A and B are shown apart, each in its own frame.
Chain A
Amino acid sequence: MTVLQKKAANPIGHLSPEDIEEIGRRLDAIRDEVIATRGARDAAYIRKVISVQRKLELGSRAVLLLSLFPPAWLIGTAGLSVAKILENMEIGHNILHGQWDWMRDPKIHSTTYEWDHASPAEQWKHAHNNLHHTFTNVVGKDNDLGYGIMRVDEDQRWYPLYLAQPFWNFVNAMFFEYGIAAYDLELGKNLATKERRQDPDFKARTKQVLKKIRGQMTKDYVVHPLLSGPSVLHTLAANAVANVVRNVWSHSVIMCGHFPEGVETFERKSIVGETRGEWYLRQMLGSANINGSRAMHIMTGNLSYQIEHHLFPDLPSNRYQEIAPKVRAIFDEYNLRYTTGPLPKQVASAWAKVFRLSLPNDFGARVRSLGRPAGSRYGALPAR
């Protein structure tokens, strides 16, 4: 993909400024309607999810105390994986977005909740809520575009280092939570110079992350295995597998949110003086949904409704499904592309892009032109 502004056929070229503001007004109306009807039903939903998650986690960890027996290991590991996914996706991510702040329950509040994740809630909230959700898909501003280690857009410059990006992406998927922690710390940038390395703020934040990781590690790899007695090694392995399963799952879901074909990116200067309507439009075109079963939606923390989530990051996640048809109707009416697809297709699409962009933009053309006379090599460049 190329930033929207440089495309030959601009997908929003047919919209007048009035159209864009009207889209904004309609989306605001959808938002207002949800806020006006937030209540006991929504509160009961999140409490139910939390209750199921905690019971599943307790039960799975209890079963794993006997993980020496293969059936116990299998059931316990599967249960723990699901519990860990629920905690990070439908519970943690969404609480930290402030989706449930309106309940005024200090246990379910964005300022008090700490999640089962390597990155401390405070740091993740800054990197994710303030940066990614504000500068969504703006090349050079939104570090979620490739997390600073990958090239996921034609308009990002190619370096030979990117040849290895399919491998990086695989490693990142396996250890995703640590990747996020490093990313929230802006490790690459902050380790670059001595001055940055010694910055007291950076040092304090690093300490915070290490403390969090130590707590996470102690739970999964020391206390729980030791409590399992003779099953110690099996329980340790179970925890490791559950963490990897969650990492790969969250990584896949998140790749599906912004990387699949059809998702637009934006030029840095295009957001100067952006109106509310234009901001909405960028979120609409910069995100992609996943379609599937209700269970799949819950397991993705309703990030399968990535478009709705990016339009309204602080609305309760159980409402995204309800407003999706209304949001889609706006896309259809204004002739905009509502990107969605089943999970395997979207994951494949995102991975295809990771592979393709590991090579320079004109690689295909160069290969094809190898047999032709010199001079015509760049003449046949496709638009992208």
Chain B
Amino acid sequence: MTTFASDPVARDTFRSRLRDRAWQIAAAATHPRDPADYLDMFRPLRAGADLRARVVEVRPETCDAVTVVLRPGQAWRGHQPGQYVRIGLDVDGVRLWRSYSLTSAPGDGLITITAKAVPDGVVSAHLAQELQPGQLVHLDQAVGDFVLPDPAPRKILFITGGSGITPVMGMLRAGLGRFEDAVLVHSEARADDVIFGDELRDYAAAGHLRLVEQHTDTHGRLDVAALADVVPDLAERETWACGPAGLLDAIEEQWASLTEIGELHTERFRTALAEPGEGGSVTFSATGTTVELDGTTPILDAGEQNGVLMPSGCRMGICFSCVLPLRSGAVRDLRSGEVTTAAPGDGVLIQTCISAAAGACDIDC
């Protein structure tokens, strides 16, 4: 025992071995269930459990945006401002996963996400109307590289549109002191619709940043080519942009055409798509499910709709969590239109979230 008392490493190893042994016995006692299945009934947020969060509050932000305050379980590893998180919600009995930017500063044990209603969006409607404090939601660790370096550049430009403000809000809330000279150009239909409008205007009034609001209902769309009119020192600024695809496309085009310009970082909520092609019948061989697909439906969505347990992630072709082997057949990349084919037995790995059927194909899931 003296060795234990004097040697913390040996003591920790002993403890972790003891814990492993106890878990093995518990697993033998609950076979074929995992002991976690029983523990989850009583302590779903404990360390070592699958990551979940308890809803603390759901509050309206604007007439079509809500903020959800969550207390993640002990397995939560924290986040960097600007990152997003995948949240799994049981919407009318069906587990649906969506990604949301974190709008809270890291640190106090609570996280917030803010979601704007999407037309026909069952998940955003669920967040606004069904979700109640006390309920549990499923969670993944925070991801994303739309973050600021440390220290932040001296001159920063944020360009955001609509709910594109959300990752930037996370950055701002994480500490305004970091910004020596920040400009935020934000585009939204009307002043009342600006998510976090009051808070942003307060920041501006207090001199933490310069806020330029573009209300598109009255003043038309933000003219990216004329940005230098509102931000004269544009060329000296490093830019973080997030918003609708049209806005980001215009920004990327503009930046590409300029030679004297600072670095550009963009965050897209949806992916840009190529012209669709023909569909085909897709077989998920492990489950034996076959579905007829058009050339526009992602294989991931089709599998999920038919009860196949598909791995998924960002749903926009970035994270590669949804990759599955294509045993045979052809799929088309929805972004580029590029066709990938596999001969029987091949097992070409494809991203199911941005792949559509391009003829009959066989997916190993």
Interface residues of A (CB under 8 A from B): 38-44, 51, 54-55, 58, 61, 98, 101-107, 109-112, 114-116, 212, 215-216, 218-219, 222-224, 227
A sample of 9 cross-chain residue pairs with beta-carbon separation below 8 angstroms, ordered by A number, consists of: A41-B93, A54-B41, A58-B38, A101-B307, A101-B308, A110-B287, A111-B286, A215-B32, A219-B29
Check B90 for interface membership: any CB of A closer than 8 A. yes
Interface centre among A41, A110, A223, by most chain B C-beta atoms within 10 angstroms, is A223
Interface mask (B305-322 → A, CB under 8 Å = 1, otherwise 0)? 001110000000000000
- CB neighbours (8 Å) of B308 from chain A are 101
Bound-complex Cα distance A54 to B34 (A): 12
Residue among A103, A106, A114 making CB contact with B94, cutoff 8 Å = A103
- CB neighbours (8 Å) of A222 from chain B are 28
**CB distance B31 to A216 under 8 Å?**
yes
Interface mask (B11-32 → A, CB under 8 Å = 1, otherwise 0)? 0000000000000010011111
Q: Nearest-CB distance from A136 to chain B (Å)?
A: 18
**CB distance B307 to A98 under 8 Å?**
yes
- CB neighbours (8 Å) of B33 from chain A are 114, 116
Q: Nearest-CB distance from B35 to chain A (Å)?
A: 11
**CB distance B92 to A115 under 8 Å?**
no
Check B37 for interface membership: any CB of A closer than 8 A. yes
**CB distance B38 to A116 under 8 Å?**
no
**CB distance B92 to A215 under 8 Å?**
no
Check B95 for interface membership: any CB of A closer than 8 A. yes
Q: Nearest-CB distance from A211 to chain B (Å)?
A: 10
Task: Return the chain B residue nearest A108 by Cβ.
Answer: B95
**CB distance B95 to A104 under 8 Å?**
yes
Q: Nearest-CB distance from A75 to chain B (Å)?
A: 19
Interface residues on B, range: 20 to 34
**CB distance B41 to A40 under 8 Å?**
no
Given contacts A104-B307, A107-B37, A111-B287, contact A223 B93 (CB under 8 A): no
**CB distance A223 to B25 under 8 Å?**
yes
- CB neighbours (8 Å) of A219 from chain B are 28-31
Check B304 for interface membership: any CB of A closer than 8 A. yes
- CB neighbours (8 Å) of A106 from chain B are 309
Bound-complex Cα distance A246 to B94 (A): 32
Bound-complex Cα distance A55 to B286 (A): 33
- CB neighbours (8 Å) of B93 from chain A are 38-44, 102-103
- Nearest 4 CB-CB pairings of A with B: A43-B93, A101-B307, A114-B32, A39-B92
Bound-complex Cα distance A224 to B28 (A): 9
- CB neighbours (8 Å) of A114 from chain B are 32-33
Bound-complex Cα distance A98 to B286 (A): 13
**CB distance A103 to B29 under 8 Å?**
no
CB-CB contacts below 8 Å: B35-51 with A? 37-38, 41
- CB neighbours (8 Å) of A54 from chain B are 37-38, 41
CB-CB contacts below 8 Å: B91-109 with A? 92-96
**CB distance B309 to A101 under 8 Å?**
yes
Q: Nearest-CB distance from B290 to chain A (Å)?
A: 14
- CB neighbours (8 Å) of B29 from chain A are 61, 219, 223-224, 227
Q: Nearest-CB distance from A227 to chain B (Å)?
A: 7
Bound-complex Cα distance A44 to B94 (A): 11
**CB distance A215 to B31 under 8 Å?**
yes
**CB distance A212 to B92 under 8 Å?**
no
**CB distance A218 to B28 under 8 Å?**
yes
- CB neighbours (8 Å) of B309 from chain A are 101, 104, 106, 109, 111-112
Interface centre among B28, B29, B38, B308, by most chain A C-beta atoms within 10 angstroms, is B29
- CB neighbours (8 Å) of B95 from chain A are 103-105
Task: Return the chain B residue nearest A44 by Cβ.
Answer: B93
Interface centre among A114, A215, A219, by most chain B C-beta atoms within 10 angstroms, is A219
**CB distance B287 to A55 under 8 Å?**
no
Bound-complex Cα distance A58 to B94 (A): 28
Q: A40-B93, A103-B94, A223-B25 are in contact. List 12 more A-B contacts (CB 8 A).
A: A40-B92, A42-B93, A61-B29, A98-B287, A101-B307, A102-B94, A103-B95, A104-B96, A111-B286, A212-B32, A215-B31, A223-B29
**CB distance A55 to B41 under 8 Å?**
yes
**CB distance B32 to A116 under 8 Å?**
yes
- CB neighbours (8 Å) of A38 from chain B are 93
Residue among B37, B38, B90, B96 making CB contact with A43, cutoff 8 Å = B90
- CB neighbours (8 Å) of B304 from chain A are 104
Q: Nearest-CB distance from B307 to chain A (Å)?
A: 3
- CB neighbours (8 Å) of A55 from chain B are 41
- CB neighbours (8 Å) of B38 from chain A are 54, 58
Bound-complex Cα distance A222 to B95 (A): 38
Interface mask (B72-94 → A, CB under 8 Å = 1, otherwise 0)? 00000000000000000010111
Bound-complex Cα distance A216 to B29 (A): 9
Q: Nearest-CB distance from B287 to chain A (Å)?
A: 6
**CB distance B28 to A223 under 8 Å?**
yes
**CB distance B307 to A102 under 8 Å?**
yes
Bound-complex Cα distance A227 to B29 (A): 9
Q: Nearest-CB distance from A31 to chain B (Å)?
A: 14
- CB neighbours (8 Å) of A109 from chain B are 309
- CB neighbours (8 Å) of B32 from chain A are 114-116, 212, 215-216
Q: Nearest-CB distance from B323 to chain A (Å)?
A: 17
Bound-complex Cα distance A216 to B28 (A): 9
Q: Nearest-CB distance from B86 to chain A (Å)?
A: 14
Bound-complex Cα distance A198 to B238 (A): 69
Bound-complex Cα distance A51 to B40 (A): 10
Task: Return the chain A residue nearest B91 by Cβ.
Answer: A40
Bound-complex Cα distance A223 to B24 (A): 11
- CB neighbours (8 Å) of B25 from chain A are 223
Interface centre among B37, B38, B95, by most chain A C-beta atoms within 10 angstroms, is B95
Residue among A103, A115, A216 making CB contact with B90, cutoff 8 Å = A103
Task: Return the chain A residue nearest B40 by Cβ.
Answer: A107
Bound-complex Cα distance A24 to B32 (A): 39
Task: Return the chain B residue nearest A212 by Cβ.
Answer: B32
Bound-complex Cα distance A215 to B24 (A): 12
Bound-complex Cα distance A219 to B30 (A): 7
**CB distance A51 to B41 under 8 Å?**
yes
Bound-complex Cα distance A104 to B41 (A): 19
Bound-complex Cα distance A41 to B29 (A): 32
Q: Nearest-CB distance from B144 to chain A (Å)?
A: 24
Bound-complex Cα distance A172 to B304 (A): 40
Interface centre among B37, B41, B94, B96, by most chain A C-beta atoms within 10 angstroms, is B94
Q: Nearest-CB distance from B47 to chain A (Å)?
A: 19
Bound-complex Cα distance A218 to B26 (A): 12
Interface centre among B90, B304, B308, by most chain A C-beta atoms within 10 angstroms, is B90
Task: Return the chain B residue nearest A113 by Cβ.
Answer: B32
Interface centre among B90, B93, B94, by most chain A C-beta atoms within 10 angstroms, is B93
Q: Nearest-CB distance from A191 to chain B (Å)?
A: 26
- CB neighbours (8 Å) of B31 from chain A are 215-216, 218-219
